[in-house]
A and B are shown apart, each in its own frame.
Chain A
Amino acid sequence: MDPLAGMDDSSTDDDNTSQTTEDDPQVPEHDPPPPPAQPAPPPSSQQPSRVQRPNYQLQHTLIGHTKSISAVKFSPDGTLLASCGAENTVKIWSPFTGELVRNLTGHTEGLSDIAWSTDSVYLASASDDKTIRIWEVDTGVTQKTLKGHSKWVFCLNYNHNSTLLVSGACDGDIRIWDTKKGGVLIHTINRRCLKTLHAHIDYVTAVHFNRDSSLIVSCSLDGQIQIWNTTNGQCLKTIVEGHDAIWYVVSRCFFESPVDLTTSPRPRISAFLIAQTYSQHVQFSPNSKYILSTAHDSAIRLWDYQTTRCLKTYTGHVNKKYCICACFSVTGGKWIVAGSEDHKVWLWDLQTREVVQVLEGHSDVVVAVATHPSKNMIASGSIDSDLAIRIWEDRTGTERG
């Protein structure tokens, strides 16, 4: 199934040169690379061009979380790092010194996701207490509490102007919120929450606006990546892997009687642990032309959503159980950065799909990664037995520009 498993070969020798594990001796270096190597040649062999490689080094280890970390996010101005996890607080860190700046407390249950407003003033957090809070980060005050989801809120994101907030919950609902009015108690669902998309049968695991906020991409554990029209909530496209053939349906015969998609709740295993083999994180590329998805077949894919074509596949890491985040790094070279269940952070070259660096240091599954908006900096967060956030920086990259 895994066509690119052979890539692993090309990267293992590289691992040794880029190890940055000074402070963490119990790193499981013997961890076997998961898929057995296939005879398929690594893609790099076709073109001998030497790809510039990043040189990320561990800068800081941020200790403070007492339960599994679920998300880390740099503020858009780059001055702060926010993190959240299964405990009830959001932590704000300085990425340059590694110091804890502030705890944002108020949620009554664990958190699954956080998102910064574009001006870096506000932070929204999604919690298992079914609410979203909007914090003013400087003061640590909750500005708004958005209530309406009937299940744990799993993911959220601001639009580019920070006027809207999109959130996905564990009952399959996607909601679009007005950040200005936010928590005003009005019963008309149209005002408070502009639109409810009864979208997915299963957990919605990621939602993201495109640049001009006209589209939302979402994905869920039922294996579907869907693209929605923000203004009217219409589904525009569903992307599934491996269907090149087109099947024709005469319109509507399929959906004549709308299926109730809000099915009964699913048993909860943990905040982000459900085993299925489908996409579980998705986002638009910086220019919104493509979408990047991670999936439980240990592959990260870059899609052209207009044509529904998979343009790139990145493999080598392990991702079978957890909702693992991947992101674009565009500050120096163009990399794809992702966490992995082998306790490492993997970096691929965007174009060649080669593994260019593997960051070792965490001692448990890395579920959260984030890239700094302007510096060559990566933050990664890990679960259960590790509980640390690590900040990695590539100092050489700044000159390379």
Chain B
Amino acid sequence: MNESLINPFSTITHPTAVQTSLYAYGTFARFDPSGRYIGVGRIDGVATIWDLETREAIRGLDGHVKAVTSLDWSRNSRYVLTSSKDWNVIVWDLAAPWDPPQRHATIRCDAPVSSASFHPRNSQIVLALLNTGEVYLIDLRKNHRSRNELCEPDEGDEDGGQRSAMTTARFDPSGRYVFVGTHSGTILVFSTRTKTMIARHRIAGGAGSLKGFDFPKSGRRLVTNSSDRILRQFIVPQYPPPDPDGVFIETELEPTHRFNDPINKTAWHTMSYSPDGEWLAGGAADPATHKIYIWDISNDGQFASTLDGGREPLAHLHWHPTKSSIASTTKQGSVLIWHSPNPEKWGAFAGGFEEVDENVEYEEKEDEFDIEDEEEMLKRKMKAEEEEIDIDTVIEDTSRPSNKLQAHGDDEDLAWADGDPDEDIAGWTMKIVMDDEDM
């Protein structure tokens, strides 16, 4: 809302400097959809929630006995999901007025969980990727309670029927599809509702084992990270409704861009799109430095900048949901919050002053120092004050479309996901749990 006041050049650029670092002992950190909090997963099984306004840890989610492998936020940040190597996925309810917050659900899996995430429209649908290369879609809703494995259909043909292990899995931003990456470098697309595979894509030229996906908010593009140390951006094809006979599309996808480090050939830990999808940040898996590469997608994917975060190597990064800010986690467990600082405007201290970059010859306007009829001025002022104003309608921030995607009437997939909704309603508040006064 006040972006124009804080930053007069209101388009999102990429961050340039570290604003603050949180000593969180984490292995990764993820912003919540509002950008107010950050969730940090730790190796000791605890996840911590930090308030970015005060830069304090405000909740400790203590429930796992082994390292936390992933963390996800529900649409309105009320529920937090943590997955762990201890075979469990735990859903936490931050609306509970105490710390540690209430455990909302515990999902026991059959193997260590590598990652898990909420469905973008309903936090009762959970996607879990296991260490063993299987992907499960778990539905906790009363009327849909189920646990389905997402399987590539058996073909038993000349490949020997050997199914490739699944190495990464994510919902697309609409929640209609699950994108799964495999060890052999194919992308499998499943329908969330029917749990059937609707497409299988090979990557043109081969890519090696897939390590991760990221989508911009629009969901029309996809960037993949793979073991050949190249990030590839694809245009996501339009998929027809799932075929009842289990027929699926089989195509090869040609990347629109390939991002890599041509000199050092570093691998990538993670990548993240900016909120408007115009920038892509890649976290280099360099063992000695903390480097974030930024590419300008709007400018044909040109390399824009490298951010150097010091000597602690990078482990993970995540772009803020609305601002030009990145959270990057170091191998030592600190979370660096990057921002793009605005220079202080000294002219702001004097009312009616405006800063200029260099001296300008001031040209007096024709009528500038004319003596005006005071009555005339007063009348004009009164006239101007007639204008109706609105003091209490709050214009909601439109930069968060995620929870406003309406089900378009006959969209079966979205209607299915919206059925039996969760209690994650906008406007809930997290209670301040005050530390005890130790004085």
Contacts and interface: CB of A to CB of B under 8 A. Distances in A.
Chains A and B belong together in one complex: yes
Contacts of A117: 432
Interface in B265-283: none
A178 B56 contact: yes
Contacts of A245: 352, 368
B430 interface: yes
B390 A287 contact: yes
Interface stretch (A9-17, A23-31, A99-107, A206-214): A206-214
A91 to B, nearest CB: 23
B54 A178 contact: yes
Contacts of B394: 211, 286-288
Nearest to A305: B5
B353 A251 contact: no
Contacts of B346: 249, 251-252, 254-255
B58 interface: yes
B130 to A, nearest CB: 37
Interface string B352-394: 1111111110100000100000010010011011111111111
A51 interface: no
A246 B354 CA distance: 7
Interface string B290-321: 00000000000000000000000000000000
Interface string A328-347: 10100010000000000000
B437 A143 contact: yes
A328 B389 CA distance: 13
Nearest to B3: A214
A40 B431 CA distance: 53
B357 A247 contact: no
B232 to A, nearest CB: 36
Which bucket holds chain A's interface residue count? Answer: 35 or more
A286 B382 CA distance: 24
A342 B19 CA distance: 51
A224 B353 CA distance: 13
A226 B345 CA distance: 13
A175 interface: no
Which bucket holds chain B's interface residue count? Answer: 35 or more
Which of A122, A237, A251 is most buried by chain B, counting CB atoms within 10 A of its CB? A251
Which secondary structure dominates where chain A touches chain B? Answer: loop
B302 to A, nearest CB: 30
Which of B55, B384, B389 is most buried by chain A, counting CB atoms within 10 A of its CB? B389
B5 A287 contact: no
A287 B393 contact: yes
A367 B37 CA distance: 39
B347 interface: yes
Interface stretch (A181-189, A264-272, A387-395): A181-189
A285 B392 contact: yes
A134 B1 CA distance: 30
A127 B325 CA distance: 38
Which of B1, B356, B357, B432 is most buried by chain A, counting CB atoms within 10 A of its CB? B432
Interface of B: 1-2, 4-6, 19, 36, 51, 53-56, 58, 341-342, 344-360, 362, 368, 375, 378, 381-382, 384-395, 397, 429-435, 437-439
Given A212-B2, A234-B345, A334-B392, 20 more contacts: A119-B429, A161-B430, A163-B51, A163-B54, A164-B54, A178-B54, A180-B56, A185-B439, A211-B1, A215-B6, A229-B6, A247-B354, A250-B358, A251-B355, A251-B356, A286-B391, A287-B394, A288-B394, A290-B389, A328-B392
13 contacts: A43-B385, A144-B434, A145-B439, A182-B434, A224-B351, A235-B349, A245-B352, A247-B350, A247-B353, A248-B356, A287-B392, A288-B2, A350-B391
- Give 9 nearest A-B pairs by CB, closest first: A240-B351, A243-B352, A285-B391, A286-B392, A238-B351, A178-B54, A251-B355, A235-B348, A255-B346
